[in-house]
């Protein structure tokens, strides 16, 4: 397969971005500095009013919380007051690496 671009997506969760930027600038994180210089770096934040548990399903599915059904790590089961027991597999929507894999592309989350 020639002409394909390899993409590395590196996600850092719950890190202090200012510390990482400072340490990188000071030369303490040379590999991180190289990744920043050669790649595309962006920050991802939860939308106002949404909490832990919404960003990753949105990232991996390309859907907003209304599309994938995750609004928080714990949710109330519809029609009751019981915890729904949300886990990583409970999201609606297809994750992009499965879509790529079915299209014949090699995609591997680690």
Model pLDDT for residues 25-46, shown as the tens digit of each residue: 999 999 999 998 998 888 877 7
**Residue given tokens 């029609």 in the structure block:** 79
Report how far apart, in Å, the C-alpha atoms of 109 and of each of 2, 21, 41, 96 are: 22, 25, 19, 10
Are residues 101 and 63 part of one domain?
yes
Does residue 91 lie in a domain region?
A: yes
**Cα gap 53→72, rounded to integer Å:** 5
Alpha-carbon gap, residue 67 to 62, rounded angstroms? 9
Residue 25: inside a domain: yes
Q: Provide the residue range defining the domain that includes 33.
A: 14-43
- Tens-digit pLDDT profile for residues 76-103: 887 888 887 666 566 677 888 888 888 8
Q: Would residue 59 count as lying in a domain?
A: yes
- The phi and psi torsions of 76 (rounded to 5 degrees) equal -85, 135
One domain, residues 32 and 54: no
pTM: predicted TM-score of the whole model, two decimal places: 0.66
């Amino acid at each position: 397969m020639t002409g394909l671009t390899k993409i590395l997506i590196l996600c850092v969760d719950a890190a202090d971005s200012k510390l990482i930027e400072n340490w990188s600038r000071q030369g303490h994180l040379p590999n991180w500095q190289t990744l920043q210089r050669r790649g595309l770096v962006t920050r991802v934040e939860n939308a106002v009013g949404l909490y832990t548990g919404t960003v990753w399903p949105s990232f991996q599915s390309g859907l907003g919380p209304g599309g994938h059904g995750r609004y928080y790590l714990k949710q109330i089961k519809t029609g009751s007051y019981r915890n729904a027991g949300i886990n990583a597999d409970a999201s609606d929507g297809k994750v992009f690496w499965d879509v790529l894999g079915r299209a014949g592309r090699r995609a591997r989350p680690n």
